[in-house]
């Protein structure tokens, strides 16, 4: 179990060989994410089954809904990040996002089979996620030493993924106990989400401590940075390349829901077991998130990001391979877990040190927005190709797209100019003509 401390960014470095404690704010944010993920994954685990098998939506219609909800996230990420940076209002903006997601559950409860209301509920949930993600990740960055960002994000993502494990289990238990009453899942999900909002209000600090003793106003450089806007960081070539690569790789990333539907289609198992599919990937993610984060801190964050997308490419290939069904099931879930452990928090840890004070939420939001918008196109395109030509053709197209994206990212992603994968302050604040790529 990780021990908490105040987690000051200006604290003196820990002597070599001494194990650092995970900042207390990171643990608090992890607890909120754990509870919130139980709520969201209860819905996510059953939603593809509910929409495609229950309501009879086609893969193209499901892709449009999934793309719409993901696109709604992208529309507010920049706004949420920029607003959070102004005056250091990370807690206030993040809290609005958590509350919006929780309030989307009653809409699902009342929607029945109306596709429009279902789309509205999904959009509200993703809007809430879009608003809260950048402020939350900015708080992790601001309360963690730069050289430990991989470990801090890994710890948070591990706690977050614990919720992702418990959510489908809770959904399955409710469906079993209520004879497939999806309304019960949506109602309980709302209650759990509301509890997550309460934890955010009680546990997360309102401002970034300047001296470890209490809240403080942002430093002058932070206020100046926030006025410059979230796109100001694009003046840095290294940061621009990170944003571009996030978009390229996102455009070749097939959503989990499609992969789970493909597994269910290939294995032809009873639909009752569908909510268990995310558990395998979540368990692997939970086990690997912290070790991969620590490895990224020691060796640089570029390679884990590339290797993680390589694991996703192998998962696509397994779905096409003439292998026993059990091997395909285990392999795909294992590779999905590796993919998320090596990419989710690592991408934020890679981008964070290249951002100036006062631009953390906005700068991270730009990276997340580029990735989210690209995934909108990926979801719609995959659903369209599946509907028109079948799942095999769609998977082949996805493999080709991801291979091309990986080749480009291997050329474009910046290598870290100093030890432990962290740029020196002067290198993170301004473009460096000597930056190189591997």
Write out the DSSP string of 72-87. HHHHHHHHHHHHHHGG
Angle (nearest 5°) at CA 409 between 408 and 410 = 90
Beta pairing partners, 5 = 23
Strand, helix or coil for residue 205: coil
Residues 2-6: contacts with CB within 8 Å, 24+ apart?
A: 2/27, 2/155, 6/143, 6/209, 6/212
Q: So what's the pLDDT on residue 99? A: 92
Sort 322 into a burial class: Cβ within 10 Å, 0-12 / 13-18 / 19+.
exposed
pLDDT per residue as tens digits for the range 115-141: 677 777 777 888 888 888 889 988 998
Contact 110, 127 (CB under 8 A): no
pLDDT one-digit tens code per residue, 25-46:
899 999 999 999 898 888 877 7
Q: Give the model confidence (pLDDT) of 282-300 as tens digits.
A: 889 989 999 998 888 888 8
Output the six-digit token pair for 266: 């290939």
Q: What is the pTM of this model?
A: 0.74
Q: Which of 61-70, 239-248, 380-389, 429-438 has the highest average model confidence (pLDDT)? A: 239-248
Distance CA 351, CA 243 (A): 9
pLDDT band at 194 (very low <50, low <70, confident <90, very high): very high
**For residues 49-60, average pLDDT:** 66
Q: What average pLDDT is seen over the chain?
A: 78
Name 211's Cβ contacts closer than 8 Å, sequence gap at least 6.
8
Helix (H) or strand (E) holding 241: helix 237-250
Residue length of the chain: 438
pLDDT at 74: 66
**Of the candidate ranges 116-120, 314-318, 425-429, the one whose mean pLDDT is the lowest:** 425-429
Minimal CA–CA distance to 118: which of 57, 166, 176, 76? Answer: 57
Q: Are 355 and 314 in contact (CB under 8 A)?
A: no
Q: What is the model's pLDDT at position 224?
A: 43
Question: In DSSP terms, which residues pair with 22 in a beta bridge?
Answer: 4
Q: Is 438 helix (H, G, I), strand (E, B) or coil?
A: coil
* Phi, psi values for residue 414, rounded to 5°: -75, 140
Q: Look up tokens 């799942």; give the residue.
A: 391
pLDDT of 366 over the 60 cut = yes
Whole-number Å distance between alpha carbons of 43 and 175: 12
SS3 400: helix
Distances in Å between the Cα of 363 and the Cα atoms of 312, 328, 354 are: 26, 38, 9
Which tokens hold the place of 185?
């899942």
Return the pLDDT at 54.
Answer: 62
Contact at 8 Å (CB) between 268 and 324?
no
Residue 21: the pLDDT is 80
Give the model confidence (pLDDT) of 220-276 as tens digits.
Answer: 444 444 455 556 656 778 888 999 999 999 999 988 878 888 888 888 777 667 767
Beta strands in 47-200 (DSSP E): none
* pLDDT tens per residue across span 153-164: 999 999 998 988
Q: What is the pLDDT of residue 267?
A: 81
User: Does the structure show a pLDDT above 50 at 319?
Assistant: yes
- Residue 118 has what pLDDT? 75
């Amino acid at each position: 179990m990780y021990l908490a401390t105040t987690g000051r960014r200006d604290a003196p470095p820990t002597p070599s060989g001494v194990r650092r404690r995970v900042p207390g704010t990171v643990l608090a944010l992890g607890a909120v994410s754990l509870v919130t993920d139980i709520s969201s994954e209860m819905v996510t685990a059953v939603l593809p089954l509910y929409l495609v098998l229950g309501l009879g939506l086609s893969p193209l219609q499901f892709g449009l809904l999934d793309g719409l909800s993901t696109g709604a996230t992208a529309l507010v990420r920049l706004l949420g990040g920029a607003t959070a940076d102004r005056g250091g209002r990370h807690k206030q903006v993040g809290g609005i996002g958590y509350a919006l997601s929780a309030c989307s559950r009653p809409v699902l409860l009342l929607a029945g089979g109306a596709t429009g209301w279902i789309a509205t509920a999904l959009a509200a949930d993703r809007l809430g996620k879009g608003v809260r993600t950048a402020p939350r990740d900015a708080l992790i960055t601001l309360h963690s030493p730069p050289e430990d960002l991989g470990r801090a994000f890994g710890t948070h993502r591990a706690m977050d993924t614990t919720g992702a494990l418990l959510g489908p289990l809770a959904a399955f238990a409710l469906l079993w106990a209520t004879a497939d009453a999806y309304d019960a899942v949506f109602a309980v999900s709302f209650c759990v989400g509301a509890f997550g909002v309460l934890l955010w209000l009680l546990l997360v600090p309102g401002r970034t401590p300047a001296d470890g003793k209490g809240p403080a106003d942002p430093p002058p450089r932070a206020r100046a940075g926030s006025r410059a806007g979230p796109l100001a960081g694009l003046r840095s070539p290294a940061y621009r390349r990170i944003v571009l690569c996030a978009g390229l790789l996102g455009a070749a990333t097939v959503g989990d829901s499609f992969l789970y539907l493909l597994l269910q289609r290939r294995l032809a198992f009873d639909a009752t077991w569908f909510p268990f599919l995310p558990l395998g990937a979540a368990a692997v993610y939970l086990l690997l998130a912290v070790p991969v984060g620590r490895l990224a801190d020691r060796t640089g964050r570029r390679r884990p990001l590339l290797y993680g997308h390589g694991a996703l490419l192998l998962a696509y290939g397994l779905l096409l391979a003439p292998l026993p069904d059990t091997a395909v099931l285990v392999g795909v879930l294992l590779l999905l877990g590796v993919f998320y452990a090596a990419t989710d928090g690592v991408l934020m840890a890679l981008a964070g040190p290249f951002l100036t004070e006062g631009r953390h939420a906005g700068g991270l939001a730009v990276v997340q927005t580029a990735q989210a918008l690209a995934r909108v196109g990926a979801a719609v395109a995959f659903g369209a190709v599946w509907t028109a030509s079948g799942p095999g053709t769609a998977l082949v197209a996805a493999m080709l797209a991801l291979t091309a994206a990986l080749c480009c990212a291997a050329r474009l992603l910046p290598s870290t100019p100093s030890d432990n994968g962290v740029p020196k302050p002067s290198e993170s604040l301004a473009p460096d003509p000597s930056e190189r790529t591997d």
